[in-house]
Amino acid sequence: MKNLFLFVLLITASSAFAQSFEMYKGDTVNRKDAQDQRQGHWVVLNKNNSNPGYSEGQLVEEGEYFNNKKVGVWRKYYPNNKLKGEITFANNKPNGPAKFYYENGRLQEEGNWKEKNWIGVYKYYHENGILFYDWQFNSEGKREGQQKYYYANGNPMYEGDWRDGKESGVLKEYYENGSLKAEKYFNEGKIDPGNTKNYDLGNPVDRPKAPVGPMLVEAKKEEPPKELGFIPDGQFTTYHKGDKNKVEKEGTFKNKVLIEGKQNVYDASGKLIKTLYIKGGKVVETKMANTGTK
């Protein structure tokens, strides 16, 4: 009877082990349940050079699954093993705090990400660690309220208010030494040249001066952005040769590149030739101005 009991016990243990092996697919980290759904901690390794720049078997990202959906904080790494980003997921969608880092380990940007947009307070940093953008987004992902830009030495570059993603009221622009460069009045994103005041670069004592920020030895010297060449991330509009009556690009920009929106193409005389529709940074549709055909 004792031997029979041991035999039954061994059979039961073997069966349980087999079920356990099937449940975890032979992996104690990347686990799947009996319904083949991912559960618990999961790691993504570079296999068969699926991630260029990473060595074979190197950790690329990691996070948690619940019923086959990403939850909690997921972390991604650079090929040098330093942290690249942290994104909070809820029900398999980005929803919550997010941070991204430079390869040198310093924080690049941070805020709250909801599916496809930043919402609330958003900050972007120069590579030397000094704050670059200090923005506010509304619940729809459009810039709202006071927005600020800073040079790499910590001094202010731009400051003003935005409404529904567009400049509104007086926008102040500063020289890199902190002295006031211009005051520009905007109405729903359009500048009023008649209410623009420009100031020559001179002794900062001669005009209002913004507070001087911290100076870092390794801070990079950055030229003030050109009025027509400076394109911030987010919703923005550019104009053909500065003519406010001729829109050239409008939509969502990232690193000065139009990611989603449309681009009008003009000939040498300024006549509209065609309109390109952009999605995901690529042209998905073209319409000729004279015929309206693709």
pLDDT, tens only, 50-83:
888 999 999 999 999 999 999 999 999 999 999 9
- Is 60 exceeded by the pLDDT of residue 20? no
Phi, psi of 10 (to 5 degrees): -65, -40
Mean pLDDT, range 209-228, rounded to an integer: 36
Q: What percent of the chain has pLDDT over 70?
A: 78
The pLDDT assigned to 289 comes to: 82
pLDDT, the chain, mean? 80
The pLDDT assigned to 215 comes to: 30
The pLDDT assigned to 173 comes to: 95
- Is 50 exceeded by the pLDDT of residue 16? no
The pLDDT assigned to 14 comes to: 37
Confidence of residue 234 (pLDDT cuts 50, 70, 90): confident
Top pLDDT among 152 and 217 is at: 152
**Per-residue model confidence as pLDDT tens digits over 99-132:** 999 999 999 999 999 988 999 999 999 999 999 9
Least confident of 45-49, 107-111, 184-188, 264-268: 264-268
- Is 80 exceeded by the pLDDT of residue 159? yes
Mean pLDDT, range 152-174, rounded to an integer: 94
Burial 32-66 (b: 16+ CB within 10 A, else e): beeeeebbeebebbbeeeebeebeeeeebbbbbbe
Top pLDDT among 294 and 106 is at: 106
Return the number of other C-beta atoms located less than 10 Å from residue 203's C-beta: 9
Confidence of residue 246 (pLDDT cuts 50, 70, 90): confident
Q: Nearest CA to 121 among 153, 98, 100, 87? A: 98
Q: Rounded CA gap, 23 and 45, in Å?
A: 20
The pLDDT assigned to 260 comes to: 86
The pLDDT assigned to 19 comes to: 36
Burial class of residue 29 in the structure, from the number of CB atoms within 10 Å of its CB (0-12 exposed, 13-18 middle, 19+ buried): exposed
Tokens of 167: 């400049």
Mean pLDDT, range 237-262, rounded to an integer: 81
Least confident of 50-59, 205-214, 223-232: 205-214
Q: Rounded CA gap, 227 and 139, in Å?
A: 29
Q: Nearest CA to 129 among 3, 214, 16? A: 214
- Is 90 exceeded by the pLDDT of residue 46? yes
Q: What percent of the chain has pLDDT over 90?
A: 54
The pLDDT assigned to 202 comes to: 57
